[in-house]
Amino acid sequence: MEIDGTMSMSQRSAALARGLASLSFGVTALAWPGMTSKALAYAFGLFALAVGLIREAEAIAALRRRADWGAQAAGALVGMLFGVLALASPGAAVYTVLYTIAAWMVAVGAVGLAAATGMPRGSGRRFSEGAAAAVSVAAGFALMLFPGSGVRMLVVFTGIYAVAAGVLGIAQVPLEGHRAKKGPA
């Protein structure tokens, strides 16, 4: 985030990459909801690692600009940790996968909410980041409260979440690009 609250080109590129990764994962999950828990664990693990690595690149770029980088670094570490956990035990029971994904959604959402509250008021990014984070927390708690729905529902629910997060992530790119061209309010 630049001092005036707009996103730089590299930040927009990273937001687009995160959004596309979420959207791809979500569409894949919705297209093949009958996938096994092992396949879901692999897909989720790779997704969480990819998003974590993108967040880490954002944190490093923010650090170089002397901008606020702590929340991005925390989000990166949380994402990579849960990605590694999912990849380390792909044969685990569906409930392990379910609770790993649910815990990741809540943890990443909580970090995202904290980061969004620190963004400038009136920023389109503040709203989109906050909305995506709130969806993440709500979806994570819903999975924890209703675990008996089975892997098929988990895949569909996680797919819907990922599509929503992807659309919100992609949507902030043109909003912030327009804002950057127009100049600060």
pLDDT digits (tens, 9 = 90+) for 90-112: 766 557 777 888 899 999 999 98
pLDDT at 5 over 70: no
In a domain, 159, yes or no: yes
- The Cα–Cα gap between 50 and 72 comes to 14
Question: How many residues can be counted in the chain?
Answer: 185
Whole-number pLDDT of residue 45: 85
- The Cα–Cα gap between 111 and 55 comes to 12
In a domain, 22, yes or no: yes
Mean pLDDT of 54-69: 85
Query: Can you give the residue range of the structural domain that contains 149?
Result: 9-179
In a domain, 131, yes or no: yes
In a domain, 145, yes or no: yes
Residue holding tokens 């984070």? 133
Domains held by the chain: number: 1
In a domain, 105, yes or no: yes
In a domain, 43, yes or no: yes
In CATH, what number is assigned to the domain containing residue 104?
1.25.40
Distance of CA 35 to the CA centre of its chain: 22
Q: What is the tens place of the pLDDT at every residue in 69-80?
A: 888 888 889 889
In a domain, 163, yes or no: yes
In a domain, 1, yes or no: no
